[in-house]
Amino acid sequence: MNFLRGVMGGQSAGPQHTEAETIQKLCDRVASSTLLDDRRNAVRALKSLSKKYRLEVGIQAMEHLIHVLQTDRSDSEIIGYALDTLYNIISNDEEEEVDDFEEENSTRQSEDLGSQFTEIFIKQQENVTLLLSLLEEFDFHVRWPGVKLLTSLLKQLGPQVQQIILVSPMGVSRLMDLLADSREVIRNDGVLLLQALTRSNGAIQKIVAFENAFERLLDIITEEGNSDGGIVVEDCLILLQNLLKNNNSNQNFFKEGSYIQRMKPWFEVGDENSGWSAQKVTNLHLMLQLVRVLVSPTNPPGATSSCQKAMFQCGLLQQLCTILMATGVPADILTETINTVSEVIRGCQVNQDYFASVNAPSNPPRPAIVVLLMSMVNERQPFVLRCAVLYCFQCFLYKNQKGQGEIVSTLLPSTIDATGNSVSAGQLLCGGLFSTDSLSNWCAAVALAHALQENATQKEQLLRVQLATSIGNPPVSLLQQCTNILSQGDKIDRRGSKIQTRVGLLMLLCTWLSNCPIAVTHFLHNSANVPFLTGQIAENLGEEEQLVQGLCALLLGISIYFNDNSLESYMKEKLKQLIEKRIGKENFIEKLGFISKHELYSRASQKPQPNFPSPEYMIFDHEFTKLVKELEGVITKAIYKSSEEDKKEEEVKKTLEQHDNIVTHYKNMIREQDLQLEELKQQVSTLKCQNEQLQTAVTQQVSQIQQHKDQYNLLKVQLGKDNQHQGPYNDGTQMNGIQPEEISRLQEEIEELKSHRELLQTQLAEKDTLIENLKSSQTTSDMNEQSSARDSEQIAELKQELATLKSQLNSQSVEITRLQTEKHELLQKTEAFAKSVPVQGENESVIAANTTDVEGRLSALLQETKELKNEVKALSEERTVIKEQLDSSNSTIAILQNEKKKLQVEVTDSKKEQDDLLVLLADQDQKILSLKNKLKDLGHPIEEEDELESGDQEDEDDENEDVSKDQDHI
């Protein structure tokens, strides 16, 4: 900074020259200094000069600044200064410093300067790639200036920068990471960057959408408070519009991702007294436009229809209707809401039916359609609001014959409320049609014409409408009243356009009479109508009246083309002769061409929405322009046709009609037969499905029976092995009187008892396991008669085995008692032996030796006896344990018997169900056979499935025989 102060100190001598020298020295310092601090200070000085001396810094320093970005990546501070400097050079945002009295050409020069520097910067595509790589740095002083610089580049030369980013690897993905930054200023500027990036570039829009942009943007809108949020919400909504508008792929992705459901909370506006700030109005306006983007009539019909259904299913349409009927809503929001609801219901029957059921929160409740029509025919309402209501009514009736019938029915005598307590839609339309406000006349006429659009039934029904003109005079038809007002022309004093009322009435009459010969007959029946039309067409009037002349020519042409010649005085040929005499064919065709040549005709034909800057431009309706395009050519041909050609055409028409009637008759017959055949096919397919289910159930039953057989055979094998392992018990030998042999024999018997006890315990454990397995198998499987018989045999065998075990235990207890008795006798013999040892006749040494020997033998016998006592005691304890196990086995047997009874009941029920299934199978087979016979009678080819079914039946019979044999065998 000392260097900068020294340089800036000499500015008084020559300001411009000194500044250029200062910038040059700073650039040299950036280029040549080896110390990072020196380069950093120089770049900081260039940044401070870049706002005021933008041109000089840009020319001299841009190359050095780019070099700094390439070489000093490790120092975030100098990178941040360099980015800020480049932003000041390229951006045109710093216009506040310019004096207010400066001329406009200086601003243009500044903008051109930014474009030129941007072009220099992006000339090397590596510079943009370098900038994208710098955005990966998390450091605030690098990332934020980088975002601002890239945004400025996109604003200056958007398409060129977009193309560079598009071909850059992971370029868009790096920018998408900005939305996840925790620092709000970077996230918000990232949204602005993506706005500039996605503008008018479908490829980048798709990439951004598939990088999860919808999820992140909707999260930001929710975090910021939806419609109550600030300008960040507005920026996110603009970005969403960029991604979705005219991009069918992104619209479909938005719908498939269930993001429409997340739009519903946007329109929960809360209490009417909560206030409407300017930002909230802007946010809601953008939200409504975003909804309209998804359901725009210019979108593919399938995509629009799916979005409309999704909006109804998630409750979004209901929420919009709530705003529509709420009080305190600003006028521009109400108008845009009406337009949005219009396009959400347009052509969607479900949504149209719901809209017809909506009532305004009044007392008594009135249908929303009636409330809206009251606003449309009220000349005190704003013009844009009246246009929006007309568009809503048109969308409600678009391809909605049910709604058209409901509107027309409110005009018929049988449905008019005699009490006059409620106003119907038809009464409001008639009131607007005959009011003194020309705009109300036009709107009511167009609305009524949409109630007749492509609906011949309602055109005929509307002929029944009678109007009471004044007290004492007979009622006149609606058609007659329209022609009466039309013939009066400018005699009635009306507010607004002079020709608007007549144009509206002529469009209504043309729509009404087209494709409806009965209406044409009623129109021609009034003898004053044709002279009035020919008089209007033949006159030479001003440019304003030329449009009325063209519409009169169209109405007269419709009266010729759709004339069924039921009135002798106004047959086709006579009307054409009248035109040739009074007007001239060429003049007539010229006047007819005035319609499509009118400047407002092409404007109305572009969009369905009646969007006009002022009431004077409200001349043509969109649907009417389609009718003109359709009829202009055929009417021209009809006028030039001769009477012979007309006769031939009539004969051809009659022939074609007869042929069409015959074809229609056969088509109806074929359609009915197709319906019957389809019903029979459905019944056959249903019966086949039921048959397959029953076959599957039978197969499962057979497999379960086979499983039970296998389990039974396995149990038999296991029981056979157990019986083989059980050998005969040794009863023991009698004592032979020899004491050592008796003792050894007792020991051997004790060992045998131990081994036998262990064997019994093992067998008991195996039996317990077997019982548990049997219990589990019995409770989990669907038992039948065979399984119940096998279980009873198994239980009987188990009982027998338990009885055998009991007898073996009893014999063991007897054996133990016998051993104890023998031990006691052995002790007695030992004592008697000790007493009977001879004392006399032997010397003392022999006696002493014998005594010692006897004492040793006695001690050994006593020790062995003690051991035998212990073993006997252990055996008795083991015997007690075995008794307890036996008691538990008895209780288990009792439980098994109870379960066996339950299983027997279940088996009986299963058998009944199986019998019912077999009966049902037989009935179904009989039904299938009868249906096939019906199909054969109807001439429908039947595949040879009978043999297969009979084969299946034989297989079922064989399986049933096998099952019965197995049962007999068991």
Give the C-alpha distances (Å, rounded to integers) separating 852 from 830, 844, 845, 856.
15, 12, 10, 6
Tell me the pLDDT band of 551, cut-offs 50, 70 and 90.
very high
Residue 194's nearest CA partner among 236, 140, 244 is 236
> In this predicted model, what pLDDT tens digit does every residue of 925-941 receive, in sequence order?
676 777 777 677 777 66
Residue 752 has pLDDT above 80, yes or no: no
135 vs 642: which has the higher pLDDT: 135
**pLDDT score recorded for residue 639:** 86
221-230, pLDDT tens digit by residue? 999 999 888 9
The pLDDT tens digits of the residues spanning 561-576 come to 999 888 888 988 899 9
d(Cα 497, Cα 504) in Å, to the nearest integer?
11
Q: Which residues are CB-contacts of 281 (< 8 A; sequence separation ≥ 6)? A: 330, 332, 333
pLDDT at 845 over 70: no
Please indicate whether residue 728 or residue 470 has the higher confidence score (pLDDT).
470
Q: To the nearest whole number, what is the mean pLDDT of the chain?
A: 81
The pLDDT value given to residue 839: 40
Looking up tokens 């065709």, which residue turns up? 589
Q: 532 by DSSP, 3-state: which? A: helix
Q: Assess contact for 761 and 754: CB atoms under 8 A.
A: no
Q: Mean pLDDT check: name the lowest of 305-309, 488-492, 500-504.
A: 488-492
- Using DSSP bridges, classify how beta strands 466-467 and 366-367 pair: parallel, antiparallel or unpaired: unpaired
CA distances from 958 to 783, 784, 950, 955, 963 (A): 21, 18, 12, 5, 9
* pLDDT exceeds cutoff 50 at 2: no
Residue 834 is predicted with a pLDDT of 47
Mean pLDDT value across residues 751-755: 68
Quick one: pLDDT at residue 694? 86
Q: At what angle do helices 316-325 and 331-345 cross, to 10 degrees?
A: 140
- Of 796, 776, 787, residue with least CA distance to 708: 787
547 has pLDDT over 70: yes
Q: Predicted confidence band at 757 (pLDDT cuts at 50, 70, 90)?
A: low
More confident residue, 398 or 776: 398
Q: What is the pLDDT of residues 56-108, one digit of tens each?
A: 999 999 999 999 999 988 899 999 999 999 999 998 865 444 444 454 555 56
**What pLDDT sits at residue 769?**
72
Q: Which CB contacts under 8 angstroms, 24+ apart, belong to 453-457? A: 453/397, 453/398, 453/404, 453/511, 453/623, 455/401, 455/404, 455/405, 456/515, 456/516, 457/401, 457/405
pLDDT digits 0-9 by tens, 941-965: 665 544 444 445 555 555 455 544 4
What average pLDDT does range 343-365 have in this prediction? 92
Go through the chain and tell me how many residues it has: 970
Task: Band the pLDDT of 733: cuts 50, 70, 90.
Answer: very low
732: left (phi over 0), alpha (psi -120 to 50) or beta: left
Residue 232: pLDDT above 60? yes
**Contact status, residue 165 vs residue 172, Cβ threshold 8 Å:** yes
Percent of the chain beyond pLDDT 70?
73
Residue 405, pLDDT > 90, answer: yes
- Residue 674, pLDDT above cutoff 80: yes
User: Is the confidence at residue 481, as pLDDT, over 60?
Assistant: yes
Angle at which helices 231-244 and 248-256 cross, to 10° = 120
Residue 338 has pLDDT above 70, yes or no: yes
When mean pLDDT is compared over 423-437, 721-735, 796-810, the highest value belongs to 423-437
Confidence bin at 735 (pLDDT 50/70/90): very low
pLDDT confidence of residue 505: 94
Any idea of the CA torsion for 371, 375, 380, 383, to the nearest 10 degrees? 160
Asked whether residue 522 carries a pLDDT value surpassing 80, the answer given is yes
Mean pLDDT of 142-163: 94
pLDDT at 268: 86
Question: Which class for 841: exposed (0-12), middle (13-18), buried (19 or more C-beta within 10 A)?
Answer: exposed
Residue 11 has a pLDDT of 38
Q: How confident is the model at residue 761 (pLDDT cuts 50, 70, 90)?
A: low
pLDDT given at position 728: 43
Alpha-carbon span 5 to 3, nearest angstrom: 5
**Tell me, what's the pLDDT at 943?**
56
pLDDT at 15: 42
DSSP 577-619: HHHHHHT-HHHHHHHHTHHHHSHHHHHHHH-SS---SSGGG--
Hey, which of 397-411, 633-647, 658-672, 895-909 has the most confident mean pLDDT? 397-411
One-letter identity of residue 738: I
Closest CA to 108 of 95, 99, 117: 95
Q: What is 689-744 written as a DSSP string?
A: HHHHHHHHHHHHHHHHHHHHHHHHHHHHHHHHHHHHH-PPPP--PPP-S-HHHHHH
List the end-to-end C-alpha distance of the chain, in Å, as a whole number.
110
| Confidence at residue 812, expressed as pLDDT on a 0 to 100 scale | 64
- Evaluate if residue 9 carries a pLDDT over 60: no
Contact 931, 687 (CB under 8 A): yes
* Weakest-pLDDT range from 220-229, 402-411, 819-828: 819-828
pLDDT band at 647 (very low <50, low <70, confident <90, very high): low
Position 736 confidence tier, pLDDT thresholds 50, 70, 90: very low
